[in-house]
Structure 1
């Protein structure tokens, strides 16, 4: 009996030591989980969550200890002030890296907080050029930026859809920054910008702006903002009988845009994505795994959010440390095959493998153009 008790005691001690060796590494995620683009924030969060869950099945060891990754989600409501608050909350919570934020307008100010704390941040969807031009060594993104996207929109609009273009932005860092790049693209293609108008990211009535634009008779209207405004705006374009083609950026390149625009959708509607179509990303099973896990279809940037979380983990693995000060150098050099394709960063933190895809609405869906 004594031998049995001793054996059980030793076994219990060994089990306790094994459990003690497992280390929890927190990775933060921030996006709008409330408000009119909450569906996009949840899409990003779910992408990061799936990455964390799948990496946890691999039994990863860092620094001689088994690691369990934990995603800590925060809601910034697409508001810069709230974004700063939750960024500091993640820092205080001891996260070792951050995936986010979604919007450029929240990501840019929050990046300063992460920079001051030395915590790596990778955005899967903030495309404003300024983000990676601040000189911060710990800020990255996994998709193309607005200089690339805006150029494609502007040149396509002025060379394929017409010659005169009216541009409307939502006055956010994302919307205004993309609109500036679109204007450059239009002019580079020999087109003419008939007007630059703006609204805001909470607006629902665009009649005054559109009535002014109607009188100018542009061939194309470009809206740089999110789907919550873009869909209703297109409905009002149709209501006013404006014959112009309608182009929106990646903020409107979603199933939700189609839903909100309703019967105003036609083959005269186009959008862009700072990335690849789902059927062209490297991991063809991603969308099915995502749907099985969350019961929802991918909206737009979930795969890039997955790769952002994966990049943080790959950097930790390469450095054999989860401490930001130790794995940041490895993160800068990391290159691996993610769900979207090859993942690696240039000296500024931009992806080395950025792609832009133009879509046209056909038969109920956004269809990638060749």
Structure 2
């Protein structure tokens, strides 16, 4: 089932779909995202909130340097390969088009919040005069570098940040993302847990803006659907022993347990099941929905479910095959499409502006996504570049979906898929 639901235009703390206890929702069309995020600085105006910029016709001769701070190490390292493959494929498609734009990528590691890897990487990238930085994957990591990036007049574009805190962050209109706010994922996850017949829920949660934000939105949706959260136990990035959290949550005897974590799930999950909790009553999220066929005993999490933003790559034609051509080792494709589209949107904004300065690119990002400008729908760089060279407005729809940015740089259309684990501990979309 794929249901579209309109969200409240307010950005208060209200639930995403006010007054609707909808179950099995896999797609949401927003007119705005609720948020408890910090307000923008008084001197700031929402990104590209006015009319679209004029597109000047003519050929381009642009070299655009793009950096990445994606996880090659740390708790989200499993997301690094698909995200970097998405970036590399977009770079290849743009350069192969040979339409007056050359992309020069510079790949760097983001690490996680237990290190200063991201800060070191960003410092290096800024010294190389990149116009935009793709990343980080972790909301917590992005919080450590967002001021450094945007303060330098460089676009930060995350394919995977989902914390609601970024919606109204004081980012000088330079922060953008193709991933939807966790207010949406929590809505879907909480309702799915309730739809599965669970009356009580426990949560084991990473204590950062991503974990607590997603846990809160999941709790709100689950309790709005009639359930009750009976336990929530937090841990910090870098922790390696989760016995206390497991004991605290299982002591409340919940019907189901949601793991709002990164790769800590590799340790928590076997310990939970080993303690006697049923493996098919666990729920995963985008930070840990991964192929566990080589990590867990067969059948350990068979029947468990999880949520993941984005379209199912199995529906995207040859996109998966082309990603594998870039990286033959890929087994997980999470956020690959969002990474591909991040590069495409940055490139199209630069092409539309005929300028590679980050502050100029940011002024065109919303309109090339279709948020302003009433442009012609395009789905690839060649078609878009030819239209822009003719002076026409474009509306890019990518592999991650329509995108269509709002005035805060958030996508206004998003898909949240529900997945289920099979006996071999691999997952497939069921909704």
TM-score by length of 1: 0.86
Name 1:121's counterpart in structure 2.
Answer: 156
1:1-370 residue pairs with structure 2 within 5 A?
A: 24-61=63-100, 67-79=101-113, 81-136=116-171, 137-226=173-262, 228-243=263-278, 245-255=281-291, 257-263=292-298, 265-280=300-315, 283-297=316-330, 298-335=332-369, 336-364=396-424, 365-370=426-431
Cα displacement (A) at 1:291 = 0.7
Cα displacement (A) at 1:213 = 2.3
Gaps of 5+ in 1: 1-20, 62-66
Secondary structure of the structure 2 residue equivalent to 1:144? coil
CA contact (8 A) 2:300 2:423 kept: no
Displaced runs of 4 or more, over 6 A: none
Deviates more, 1:92-101 or 1:210-219: 210-219
CA contact (8 A) 2:90 2:340 kept: yes
- Cα deviation code 1:1-45 (max 9, x no counterpart): xxxxxxxxxxxxxxxxxxxx9754210110121234323123212
CA distance in 1, matches of 2:299, 2:244: 19
User: Over aligned residues, Cα RMSD in angstroms?
Assistant: 2.0
CA contact (8 A) 1:99 1:309 kept: yes
- Cα deviation code 1:285-333 (max 9, x no counterpart): 1110111221122431111101101110011111121122322211121
Gaps of 5+ in 2: 1-59, 370-395
- CA 156–273 in structure 1, closer or farther in 2 if over 3 Å, else same: same
CA contact (8 A) 1:43 1:300 kept: yes
- Cα deviation code 1:243-263 (max 9, x no counterpart): 3710011011122x4432333
CA distance in 2, matches of 1:113, 1:287: 34
Cα displacement (A) at 1:184 = 1.3
CA contact (8 A) 2:403 2:414 kept: no
Secondary structure of the structure 1 residue equivalent to 2:65? strand
Secondary structure of the structure 2 residue equivalent to 1:221? strand
CA distance in 1, matches of 2:68, 2:334: 17
> Greater relative contact order (Cα 8 A, min sep 6): structure 1 or 2?
2
CA contact (8 A) 2:63 2:356 kept: no
- How many residues align structurally? 341
Deviates more, 1:334-343 or 1:351-360: 334-343
CA contact (8 A) 1:107 1:131 kept: no
The structure where helix makes up a greater share of residues is 1
- CA 260–170 in structure 1, closer or farther in 2 if over 3 Å, else same: farther
TM-score by length of 2: 0.75
- Cα deviation code 1:97-122 (max 9, x no counterpart): 11111100011232222221221121
